[in-house]
Structure 1
Amino acid sequence: MESLKAQFSQQLTASGLPETIPEEIQNVVSAHWQQFIDNNPSFTLPDSLYSDKNDQLSPEVMDELIHCWAGSDFAAQQCIRYPEWLASLLENHDKLPEFAQTHPGRLQKALDVVENEQDLIKALRLYRNREMLRIIWLDLNRRVSMQETTAEMSALADACIDSALNWLYQDCCQTMGTPYGTNIPGEEPVPQKMVVLGMGKLGAKDLNLSSDIDLMFTYPCQGETRGCKKVITNQEFFIRLGQRLIKVLDCQSADGFVFRVDMRLRPYGSSGALAMSFAAMEQYYQDQGRDWERYAMLKARVVAGNILAGQLLLSQLRPFVYRRYIDFGSISALREMKQLIRREVKRKGMESNIKLGPGGIREIEFIIQSFQLIHGGRDRSLQERNLLSVLSTLLSKHYFSTDEASELKAAYIFLRNLEHAIQAIADRQTQDLPKNSEAQARVAFSMGQKDWSELLNTLEEHRRHVTTHFDAVIADPETTNTKESHSDQWEALWLDQLSEEEEQQLMAQEGFKDIEASRKRLISLRDGKAITRVRRQSRDRLDKFIPLLLRVAAQSSEPDTFLLRILPLIEAVLRRTAYLVLLIENPAALEHLGKLCIASPWIAEQIARFPALLDEFLNLGDLYNPPEKEALANELRQQLAHIPEDDLESQMEVLRHFKMAHVLRVTAAQVSGTLPLMKESDYLTWIAEVILDTVLAIAWRNLTEKHGMPQDADGHLCDPGFIIVGYGKLGGIELGPGSDLDLVFIHSGGTNKETNGPRAIDSTTFYTRLGQRIIHILTTQTPSGILYDADMRLRPSGSKGLLVNSFSYFEKYQKEEAWTWEHQALVRARVIAGDQALASMFDDLRSEILSQKRDVEKLRDDVVDMRQKMREHLGTKPTPSSVKNGEAFHLKHDPGGIVDIEFLMQFAVLRYSSQHPSLLKWTDNVRISEELETVGLLTHENAHQLREAYKTFRLSIHQKALQNEDPIAGEAIAESLRQNVIGVWRGCMDV
């Protein structure tokens, strides 16, 4: 003890502490040390703790002790009162963070000797205080991150609540009987256990050093107790149990408390029953749940009791918290909550509160949780409880920029560390900045700041960032100064307060040209029967939106087109006007929606059919920048990760919305001129590839769970032994906005081999069902439509053939039975998804088939004959009016069109690939033409002419598709390109 005392005296007195430590800190630590010596004169440490022969503790350990005692009177007092705890801390110095993972077991060991409630109260407090000493030591010395501190605090609370509940439940069952009940008529009642829900920071595993714990008590079902003479209801039992649990955790004893308990978030608040059944909870939130309760339930988590039952309850309550669609209807409620926060911030004295004051913790929580409430219903990745985890997801989903997310994260971590520094001093729940100089110096020291002034400067910078982002989120609707003078008139027009002449005059003055058609369409909405059946709230939203729509339309390049193409969307959402709130809140989104609808009626129709696509307009940067294939795959994987694997209906909805949203992005970029034709097709093809890969995985998982895995001919398990081959535009990487998919399914399963599951079936049947399941997922009509039309007619024997063919049969068919046109189709075939080994076999077979030496004259005759049949069946049938108007050229099927170019490429591959294998590398027409030019089979001039015609015609077809027009062009417009193609065709095919 003497050597220890000497060392401490040297380092822990005002004269011996390093000069860098402020005088106030020296005084605090020295006072603690003197009290420690006075109270524990015979205290010694094990020899193993000394780092050298001079009996000196390492400087690192001494520095940590100084930081701990300087920052926390509570920690110092625990060391003084229980010096053996200090000895244990020092002895286990390097292993201190590891104890965070073992609370349940260590606490249960401490409670094994408990015989009555008083013993329980004491044991819990001693365990809590000892662990708090360790946690504070680690936190103030920054040996763990803020997130690790809050996670361990939450784990400590979970263990204390659960251990106390288990002990009290057994004790209550002995004195009051065991509660029994069942929710299934006719079933025998079973014992019931309480479920404890943790709310707020406890629910989010984000508990601070001296936080209340917000709890709710619930139980599965009504019933009554058994095993005692006096029978009571389950509710009475669990209310009494809850009261005892609160007392055990919350009451102040000589050893302090465990956790302060707050029950005010339960249904009906302080006036509600302390414990409610699941059914009563569900009924309450369904009938009376308020917006702030949705906000609170975001973080609800089962922390003790019957965990599985509690998780079932939370899943049943999830629709209350997260609306099925994007919940723009909650914006007004969130804005009201924001105004309440602002008003409270302005209260006198709030400036010093780092939680409730300006730029404080609560504002960061509001920013993050607002996005969860609005988008969490559809984007399940946002259904997280922990704030920083949600922030990371919001960044990855581009709701925030990197700078915004970084500023919020840095501010949150700083504020939470500062909160801990303030609370650690006396183990007191406070978020107010200290006012006396000693406490200020201690907090600055704990935060690693030079002095209090430096800390305040850093704090002010973080607060400023938070306030900026807080002001921006759920901001008041933007206003525009342009033509504002007529905003009242637009409202008067919509509310039928103007004469017909005044309405026409206003529309003419504001730039409408086809006034009669636009006005008639608008009036049909205003005076129609549909609008009389909407709810009051919906009508109010409509009355607010239409004048805004008319004002923005008047400012557009084509007001009439804007209005006429947007109104079907308005009619489609009359019963779901929350979608209009998005556009009210974001006039910039409305302007961009108008631009796209003016540019493309196809886009307008898609959004009117599927209003959920409006969500894409929240982030205009992403709208015009579709992601690359890897990012697409990652996004789809994340969206599906939050859906149970057996919920096929929800998976199909996610797939459909994913496709629609990303096709919208591609078409938006295309019509805005930011995406070249070839890149557009690349993106649309990537979307299909990612979806097909996922659909195969879903279908495979569904079937293997039932039947096990199929076997190949050698008895080896196939995984999956199946490929999806894309033909046509999909194979050629040339998909357009509304293209269907030409598919062929091939497997490598063995004949007469069965799957290895409990419900075994033969492999051929398995793969047939796999193909059927894929088609089902692709083509079933759901509320969001279909994924893709799938065309399977290019499989062996066409519509008469098997849906799924074995590789051996496919090979035999291609070699012995396939027509020339089927080999032409194979030129544009490639594997899209499935087994890599089988894909390699397919590629080898394709090369073998295409590179066969052929009778050139027969090949030419077959190709020309097939081309002529297609022209007769699919080409234009000129009418007098089409000829008169110069619109008689079908861009795809008429002579000189796209199919001529495709047939030329296919003919060349079939004729020359035996001599030039490099022709087999590509499946798209542009790169095949480039390869033909490289090997000298096409002149530079002819190759260039074909590519220019091909790209021009394809671009025109895409543009016409977005205008809902047939792919027929004015002959004069395409004449020169067309004649170039015809010239090359004659040179190659008519010889």
Structure 2
Amino acid sequence: MTVPDGRRRSSYSRLLRHGFSDAAGAERLLDTPVLAPVRSDPLLLDALGATADPDLALQGLVRLVEATGTAERQTLLDTLVTAKPLRDRLLGVLGASEALGDHLARHPGDWHALVTYEPADLNPATPEFEKALTEGVRGERGAGMAPADALRAAYRRCLLTIAARDVCGTSDVAQTAAELADLATATLRAALDIAAEEHPEDAAACRLSVIGMGKCGGRELNYVSDVDVIFVAEPRGGTTEGAAVQAATRLASRMMRVCSDVTPEGTIWPVDANLRPEGRNGPLVRTLSSHLAYYQRWAKTWEFQALLKARPVAGDAALGQEYLDAVSPLVWQAAERENFVADVQQMRRRVIASIPAGQVDRELKLGPGGLRDVEFAVQLLQLVHGRSDATLRGSGTLDALTALAAGGYVGRSDAAALDAAYRFLRTLEHHIQLYRLRRTHLMPEDETDRRRLGRSLARAFQWPPGTEPVAELAKAWKKHAREARRLHEKLFYRPLLDAVAQLEPGEIRLSAKAAGHRLEALGYADPAAALRHLEALASGVSRKAAIQRTLLPVLLGWFADSADPDAGLLNFHKVSDALGRTPWYLRLLRDEGAAAENLARVLSAGRLAPDLLLRAPEAVALLGDPEGLRPRSREALDQEVLSAVGRAEGAEAAIVAVRGVRRRELFRTAASDIIGAYGPAGSGNGTSLPGRTPEIKDTHHRVDAVGGAVSDLNAAAVAGALRAAVRAEWGDTLPARFAVIGMGRFGGHEQGYGSDADVLFVHEPREGVGDEEAARAAFAVATEMRRLLQLPTTDPPLIVDADLRPEGKSGPIVRSLASYAAYYRRWSLVWESQALLRAEPVAGDAGLGRRFIELIDPLRYPAEGLGEDAVREIRRLKARMESERLPRGADPTTHTKLGRGGLSDVEWTVQLLQMRHGWAEPGLRTTRTREALHAACAAGLLSAEEAAILDDAWVLATSVRNAVMLVRGRAGDTFPSHSRELAAVGRYLGYEPGHVGEMLDDYRRTTRRARAVVEELFYGS
């Protein structure tokens, strides 16, 4: 009877809705006579439509039914209709695995293995599989078959049940991997039994133990994988050692062939013994003592990593345990090997580099973001931290990851993301291999294969109904691979890991007495107080305490590398108390790059940075961000400060907000400076100065960076104070245009941490405003600005000093532009012109600031230069300052500002060159000392050697002033007298402990050379 086209189209549409790709082919198969009893059953079509590949499932079902005898066929079909568990299992396997469909067609009676659905069937382990394999080899099913072939058939029958639980979702990927490993264990035992039966004399001559390695040892095996093993043997019954090893080698070789040979029943899997000592070049079997001798003398780092998963799986169980007991201590000592962490990291990079270029983007196992990324990260963390924490010594990846998270070594969210990525990637790998039972880790390129995988994962991961499987598969794979790679790099390459690995085992867990001795040896002046801090930080069972116990051994060493370890530990205790309930704090130190080392450097380098941090502890987050220590632009600072002022209720609240920004940014600058002095965490850089640490960085660059950052920050604070003062009285518009002109180091972008802000205030009336009204408003604003900035604070103060104004303290604090013009035209002295060399607008009306600069340029860069009278006057003023202003008792050879070859010497020399030649050399028209010095050298006004001598002296003196402020928390122009403070200045300047004398000698030598240049260039000697 011919089916009308309409009915055929309806049938085809129904099949397509159930997921069939080839509706015509499916229709023909459903019309096969052998399916006549069940063809009209709607449950069958629904069950086929729920499989990964309905077309494949239907083809496999037809082949199975056709291969089944007539009497058995009806039983199969009846059970298929009435028993949902069998229907789901059988069709699920047939829709996911062409290879298992082939097995069922060859052994049709094996469908009975899928009927059982009892609690015991859900979690079979090695004993259940051993029983099934024994029955398959020794029982009725194995009759007439060679034992090895019977084992292969029985193995596939067990594999069928594992796959059924997997595709139906009654076991997750971890359970499936464990069942596969347990089946492999049972198979190895059965294969060894077969070998022993064939060679009974060899079995009698030796004790042979098979050690499972890799995924078999870790109970996380794939469907198709080499099974990695190591063989260990001992003599039995008076046999000599040599004879026992030979007998064991014959047994091991036969066991391997039983599993690996290909026969009409196929193969099981290759047994790989290449993880043994010396690899394929070494003997297949060794005695226990031979194994130990090799591991103690010759083994490489990767071999200990491989031993993480070692587990006795077959043969002599007692000998296997002896082997494990003997090698385990060596595994947990491996992290103490020189360059251990670097070796493991390099091995991972070599694995990625060895992948063919065309396969990298499809590689699920070895490629970036693949399974190896998760496994290597977990194993490295285990090996480093497992020395002192036995809870981390599990062999399974997911169990170890759970333990790492529980112990605080990995953040919970990171662990959860890695767990999810690993489960997804393993499930994907399993289902790729299950299709043809071939060893592969590549994502297939064929669309049909990807559709089958997408449908199978949709069920495993419960994707929403209607999800397009191929697109969702690609999306999920990309997401999990990206997370795996990101977290691998975060955990695998973090500096803290290498630092922990370098600790001696005893340093990780010390008794109180031993810890006290150790602290004293590290240079802690008060070990008892240090122990109290450690007890307070690390005692208890909380997660916080667990993470602290991981961090502290390393931090103690970094504190000890400073001049004041006690202060570093005390400050860490204070910061931890302040941030103890902040969830990101300890996670940042543990996980984020160099944050922990950076914090240790900052907390032990002096008083300024820790004091700033304790008043704004959330700023510790800056230490974990690669961009966090980069100075912010003036524009960004202005925007934040002015926005904060705009939101504030009143002028005093506004200045509190301004100070909050300044406090954080001062910390950012100080932290960057300190870390730059030591060198970024984990880096090194050569140096030419004797006694200097190899990490010393470019001091000249750091001095410029600090000067620019502090000057910009103070300018933003002045701008904020100006806005607050104006808003308090006049709202948005002041009756006068008002500008703040930076002078001295402020205008020169050369401020230090404790510098005052030298300024001039200038105004002019707005249109329609009288001069007196404008002057009153400008005076009120200037006065209010100074008051606000001088309100009491625990932060480093920003003192606004207007004493460089015309007539000094006797003159009005603010003048109009016209008043400045009149004064400079009639009364200006040469020292005032010299002071104006550093003048630069820093806040307020930009147009007014530019007009002020246009006004003063002819004074500071006089046409045709300075006359001889003016030069003599400048020299006289400099000589007078040297004799009168140097503090009584100060050492002129080490005073950074007024001493021999110090800041004043260099700056006055440069300024004299600017005033004499600035009219002709545009490069000299700058407020910055070093920039002007380089321009003078380029113009031939001094030699390159002279310029370098002056530059080095100015940078060194500025560095000392910065160091004094960082160390003491208050400004100073001389080296500290206290030994610890002096040593801390030395560490900042790059001198190792004990080299303070060299530091002072170097300073005197550098400034003495500078003074000689000053005598010639400035005084004309």
What TM-score range do you get, normalising by the shorter chain? 0.3 to 0.5
The structure having more radius of gyration, on CA atoms, is 2
